[in-house]
Amino acid sequence: MWFYLVTLVGLYYLLRWYRERQVVSNLQDKHVFITGCDSGFGNLLARQLDRRGMRVLAACLTEKGAEELRKKTSDRLETVILDVTKTESIVAATQWVKERVGNRGLWGLVNNAAVFPPISYIEWLKPEDYMSVFQVNLIGLAQVTLSMLFLVKKAQGRIVNVSSVLGRVAFFGGFYSCSKYGVEAFSDILRREVQDFGVKVSIIEPGSFKTRMTDPELTMERSKKAWEAAPEHVRESYGQQFFDNFYRVTKQNLMMSNTNLNVVTDCMEHALTSTYPRTRYSAGWDAQFIFIPLSYLPTSLADYILTRSRPKPAQAA
C-alpha cells in the first residue's frame, strides 16, 4: 500500500519537474515589461532577464533609478518613467511599449511596483498612511494590466503579479495585507477571463525579504511616527509598553529577513520562460513551510498560533 502511494507521489513530482524544465522558444525575441525597477525585485529581475537575452522594458519611478539600471545592463534594455498612480503616465507608458513591441505584442507583463506602509496596528493609522498603499499595490496594478492587456493577448503571453504571503495570511502589515488580498483576487479573476486567449497569469507570493522598501530602520521609524500621531485614547488603550515590545520584536523580525532576492526573481523568471508556468509561486522558506500551511488550517487554530505569544494591550479585556 505505502509502496504504491510513494511511487505515485514520486512519479507526480518527476513529471512536474520534467514539465517545468520545458522552456519557450525564441526568448531573445520576446519583450517583457516590468514595473518598479528602481530597486529590489524589479531591478534584479530586469538585470537577470537582460543577461538571458530577453528584450527588457523596465519602468522606473525616477530618472536616477533608470540611469543606474541602464549602467548595469546591455543596450537591449530600455527604460521608461512610470508612476502607476497616474492614469496619464500609464497611458504614455502603454504607447511607449506598443511602439517597441510592434505586431509581436508584449510577451510578459510583470506587476512588481509596490509600497509598504508603516508596520502597525490598523487603528494607529490615518487615511494618508494607507490610501497610497491601495493606489499603488492594487489599483495601479489593475490599471497597468488593463491598459496593456491587448498587447499581451496579441503575443499570447504572460502576466506575473507580485502579491505576498500576507495576501494569504493577514497576520501583520495592516493595509498592506488588504492590498495584497486584492491582488490575489484580481489575479484569479483575470486568469479565468483571459485563459481562452492563450494568456497565462501567475502570482508570486514572497515571504519576508530585505529590500529598500522593508529596510528595518526606515520602516520602524515610520511605524514610530504613526504611533505618536495616533489619537491619545488609542495609545492609552494599548499602552506605551505594548508599543515598545511591538517595536522591538517587529524590528528584530525585519532584520532576520531573507537577503537572497534571487529566490523571488527566479520564480518570476520561471513564470515568464517556462512552457508550463505555475499559477502560484511561494518564495522563501517562511512562505513555504510556515504561512502557506497556516492558510489551510481552520481559522480558529491559525488565530491561536499567530496570536498566542503576542503581548496584551494595557486595556485588554
* 296 annotated active-site: no
Kindly report which listed range (72-76, 172-176, 241-245, 298-302) carries the lowest average pLDDT score. 172-176
Task: Select which of 121, 130, 176, 281 is catalytic.
Answer: 176
According to the model, what pLDDT value does residue 214 have? Answer: 82
Question: pLDDT tens digit string along 41-78?
Answer: 999 999 999 999 999 999 999 999 999 999 999 999 99
Strand partners, 170: none
Q: How much is the average pLDDT of 11-24?
A: 78
Percent helix, strand and coil across the chain, each to the nearest 5: 60, 10, 30
Q: How far apart are CA 161 and CA 281, in angstroms?
A: 10
Q: Which residue has the higher pLDDT, 61 or 3?
A: 61
Tell me how crowded residue 194 is: count the other CB atoms within 10 A of its CB: 18
Q: How much is the average pLDDT of 95-121?
A: 94
| % of the chain residues with pLDDT over 90 | 68
Q: How much is the average pLDDT of 80-104?
A: 96
Per-residue buried b or exposed e for 285-309, using 16+ beta carbons within 10 Å of the residue's own CB: ebbeebbbebeeeeeeebeeebeee
pLDDT band at 85 (very low <50, low <70, confident <90, very high): very high
Question: pLDDT tens digit string along 22-45?
Answer: 888 889 999 999 999 999 999 999
Q: How much is the average pLDDT of 293-297?
A: 92
Question: pLDDT tens digit string along 164-205?
Answer: 999 999 887 789 999 999 999 999 999 999 999 999 999 999
According to the model, what pLDDT value does residue 218 have? Answer: 86
According to the model, what pLDDT value does residue 89 have? Answer: 97
Question: pLDDT tens digit string along 138-152?
Answer: 999 999 999 999 999
According to the model, what pLDDT value does residue 163 have? Answer: 95
**Average pLDDT along the chain:** 91
Q: How far apart are CA 126 and CA 131, in angstroms?
A: 9
Q: Which residue has the higher pLDDT, 61 or 308?
A: 61
Query: Which residues lie below 8 Å from residue 159, measured CB to CB, with a gap of 6+?
Result: 108, 109, 111, 145, 149, 152, 187, 190, 194, 199, 200, 201, 202
pLDDT band at 6 (very low <50, low <70, confident <90, very high): confident
Q: Decide if 114 contacts 47 (C-beta within 8 A).
A: no
Task: Report all structural domains of the chain as residue ranges with CATH numbers, in order of start.
Answer: 25-307 (3.40.50.720)
Q: Decide if 294 contacts 169 (C-beta within 8 A).
A: yes
Residue 59 three-state SS: strand
The pLDDT of residue 137 is above 90: yes
Q: Tell me the whole-structure pTM to 2 decimals.
A: 0.91
| Dihedral sign computed on CA atoms, order 52, 44, 175, 83 | negative
Q: How far apart are CA 246 and CA 241, in angstroms?
A: 9
The pLDDT of residue 246 is above 70: yes
The pLDDT of residue 161 is above 70: yes
pLDDT band at 13 (very low <50, low <70, confident <90, very high): confident
Longest Cα separation, the chain:
64
Residue 295 has which C-alpha cell?
Answer: 492558510
Q: How far apart are CA 212 and CA 149, in angstroms?
A: 29
The pLDDT of residue 317 is above 70: no
Q: How far apart are CA 74 and CA 60, in angstroms?
A: 17
